[in-house]
Amino acid sequence: MGSTSDLEIMSAAFAVLDQFGVPYEKRVISAHRAPSLLAEWAGSARDRGVSVIIAGAGGAAHLAGVTAAYTTLPVIGVPINGKAFGGMDALLSTVQMPSGIPVATVAVNGAKNAALLALSILSVTDASVAEKLADFRRKQTEAIVNTEI
């Protein structure tokens, strides 16, 4: 994420990954305030064994896009609702990538779905994650079927 001020929103992603028992790196790296560190971190991610990157940032949210520029790993962008525009600034900054450098952008503050999408990507080659995802969906459906109002 771009700042510790994003931590509260991004915690929803950590909760999902913890629930699924999937290990992850958790870093604050700003595309604007620490660009060299971002280049080094994203550029070496595949060699460290990272499979998917989730990048959450608000405002002029260039984190996901710049991260995607430094790696061919899948990058999922989470636009964060900061102090202005209801997060529309971050949404457009994250989603409107130039052709050739994709970012899979989830909803504003959609950190939970970002983690679930990352797990879906992992599930292509990891049967254990695939089974846990299927179980998650089963329970989610059951909860709705059993809802009484």
| Residue ranges in 38-77 that form contacts with ligand RP5 under rule CB under 6 A | 57-59
Q: List b or e across 85-99, with b for residues whose CB sees 16 or more CB atoms inside 10 angstroms.
A: eebebbbebbbebee
* Strand stretches in 59-112, DSSP E: 75-80, 104-105
Give the total of residues touching ligand RP5 (CB under 6 A): 11
Q: Closest separation between CB of residue 51 and ligand RP5, Å?
A: 23
Are 70 and 39 contacting, i.e. CB atoms less than 8 angstroms apart?
yes
**81 binds ligand RP5, rule: CB under 6 A:** no
The smaller minimum CB distance to ligand RP5, of residues 6 and 38, is found at: 6
DSSP annotation of 55 reads E
Other Cβ atoms less than 10 A from the Cβ of 146: the count is 7
Q: Closest separation between CB of residue 123 and ligand RP5, Å?
A: 28
Single out the residue of 64, 69, 80, 117 in contact with ligand RP5 (rule: CB under 6 A).
80
Site residues for ligand RP5 per CB under 6 A:
1-3, 5-6, 30, 57-59, 80, 82
